Amino acid sequence: MKFTLTLFAFLFTVNVYPQDLPKGFTEYEFSIYPEYRTNYYNYILSDSPDPPPGPVRTMAEWEELQAIQITWSSYKPILRQIITAAQQQCNVIILCSDSNSVKNDLTGNGISLLNVRYIEAPYNTVWCRDYGPWSVYSNDYDTLRIIDWIYNRPRPSDDNSPVYFAQFLNAPLHQTIQFPNDLINAGGNFMTDGHGTGFASKLVLIENPTKTESQIDAIMQEYMGIERYIKMDTLLYDRIHHIDMHMKLLDEETLLVGQYPVGIADGPRIEQNLNYILNNFPTAFGKKYKVVRIPMPPNQYGQYPPQSNYYTYTNSLIVNKTVIVPIYGLQLDSTALQIYRDAMPGYNIVGINSSSMISAYGTIHCITKEIGVNEPIFISHSALTDTNTTSPLEVSAYIKTKSGVQSASLYYTTDTTVAYSQINMTVSNDTFSAMIPSQPLGTKVYYYIAATSNNGKNVNKPLTAPEGYIQFIRDVPVNIRSNNSIAENFRLSQNFPNPFNPVTKIRYEIPQNSFVRLEVFDIAGRLVAQLVNDFKLKGEYEFEFNANIIPSGVYFYRLITPNFSDVKKMVIVK
The answer on 467 and 343 residing in a single domain is: no
The answer on 431 and 315 residing in a single domain is: no
Lowest-confidence pick of 46-55, 228-237, 303-312: 46-55
Looking at 372, 405, 432, the residue that finishes a domain is 372
Q: Is residue 478 part of a domain?
A: no
DSSP-derived secondary structure for 7-55: HHHHHHHHHHS-----SS--HHHHHHHHHHHHTGGGT---S--SPPSS-
Residue 524: per-residue pLDDT: 80
Tens digits of residue pLDDT in 425-466: 999 999 999 999 998 887 889 999 999 999 999 999 999 999
Looking at 357, 372, 387, the residue that finishes a domain is 372
Residue 186: per-residue pLDDT: 96
- Residues spanned by the domain of 527: 491-572
Q: Is residue 177 part of a domain?
A: yes
CATH number at residue 454: 2.60.40.10
| Cα separation, 154 vs 163, whole angstroms | 17
Tens digits of residue pLDDT in 486-505: 456 889 999 999 999 999 99
- 3-class secondary structure, 531: strand
Q: What is the mean pLDDT of residues 188-202?
A: 98
Residue 474: per-residue pLDDT: 76
Q: Is residue 255 part of a domain?
A: yes
CATH number at residue 556: 2.60.40.1930
The answer on 505 and 465 residing in a single domain is: no
Q: Is residue 486 part of a domain?
A: no
The answer on 191 and 256 residing in a single domain is: yes
Looking at 438, 473, 508, the residue that finishes a domain is 473
Residue 480: per-residue pLDDT: 35
Name residues whose C-beta falls within 8 Å of residue 101's C-beta, 6 or more positions apart in sequence: none
The end-to-end CA distance of the chain, in Å, is 74
Number of domains in the chain: 3
The answer on 208 and 317 residing in a single domain is: yes
The answer on 442 and 347 residing in a single domain is: no
Helix orientation angle between 2-16 and 156-169, rounded to the nearest 10 degrees: 40
The answer on 333 and 248 residing in a single domain is: yes
The answer on 109 and 14 residing in a single domain is: yes
Q: Is residue 484 part of a domain?
A: no
Tens digits of residue pLDDT in 292-323: 889 999 999 999 999 999 999 999 999 999 99
Residue 476: per-residue pLDDT: 52
Q: Quick check: 266 pLDDT over 60?
A: yes
CB 471 within 8 A of CB 416: no
The answer on 104 and 55 residing in a single domain is: yes
Radius of gyration of the CA atoms of the chain, in A: 25
Percent of the chain predicted with pLDDT > 90: 74
The answer on 345 and 384 residing in a single domain is: no
Tens digits of residue pLDDT in 132-154: 999 999 998 999 999 999 999 99
Q: Is residue 480 part of a domain?
A: no
Residue 19: per-residue pLDDT: 55
Q: What is the mean pLDDT of residues 355-384?
A: 97
The answer on 170 and 117 residing in a single domain is: yes
The answer on 341 and 313 residing in a single domain is: yes
Q: Is residue 358 part of a domain?
A: yes
Q: Is residue 2 part of a domain?
A: no
CA atoms within 13 A on the CB side of 404: 3
